[in-house]
Amino acid sequence: MSDDHRKIAGKLVIATHNAGKLNEMRELLALYGVEVVSAGELGLPEPDETGDTFIANAIIKAQAAADATGLPAFADDSGLCVDVLGGDPGIYSARWAREAGDFKAAMTKIDGLMRDKGATLPRQRRAHFVSALAVAWPNQHVETVEGKVFGEIVWPPRGERGFGYDPFFLPDGHSRTFGEMSSEEKHGIPADGSQALSHRARAFQELARMCLK
């Protein structure tokens, strides 16, 4: 990340084919008057995510979209990290869901692995979500940020809102899972500038300070 932060202006490509992520990113960007188009809408291929960190994979996706379109591109790489599983599934969160068949099956798998390790009490089921955001320009200039939110894994999953592992995750200080929260509760950015709740919104707050204000 450069210390010479560049501002986003005009059209921005959101480098995702994930409908849930796309909706969240569009909502977060709406306040800034940025014209948005997605990689999926443009028919761009999904690049291989060969990085070994969330940041590295976000850069890969953003730079591929920027190079293909000649426009600045915005990408997210995010995942669930479970303490008792050594941080898994981590950067492979989406892959675990694909291999299991869907996120519901992946949550069942993760819960089983945790129970195999004796993790049945809330204090033994600590986890956190990570969201790495990258904005890349066609000239290879890149800005990156990372946000985290900590909590615990619940079983059974609760709620039909959100997407991915949301029904599985209870953020610290709350009685409802991400899957039980409205979009505004989960990632709305407080008007007073205090910290947002979700990992993606926290990362976006920092990115907005750097590139959107």
Condensed to tens digits (0 to 9), the pLDDT of residues 127-175 reads: 999 999 999 999 889 999 999 999 999 999 999 988 899 999 999 999 9
pLDDT of residue 99: 96
Measured CA to CA in angstroms, residue 9 lies from 63, 71, 88, 92, 133 at distances of 17, 10, 37, 32, 17
CATH of domain 11-211: 3.90.950.10
Residue 79 β-bridge partners: 130
Condensed to tens digits (0 to 9), the pLDDT of residues 5-16 reads: 677 777 899 998
Catalytic residues, which ones? 77
pLDDT at 2 over 50: no
Condensed to tens digits (0 to 9), the pLDDT of residues 99-127 reads: 999 999 999 999 999 999 999 999 999 99
Burial of 17 (0-12, 13-18, 19+ CB in 10 A): middle
pLDDT of residue 3: 52
Confidence of residue 1 (pLDDT cuts 50, 70, 90): very low
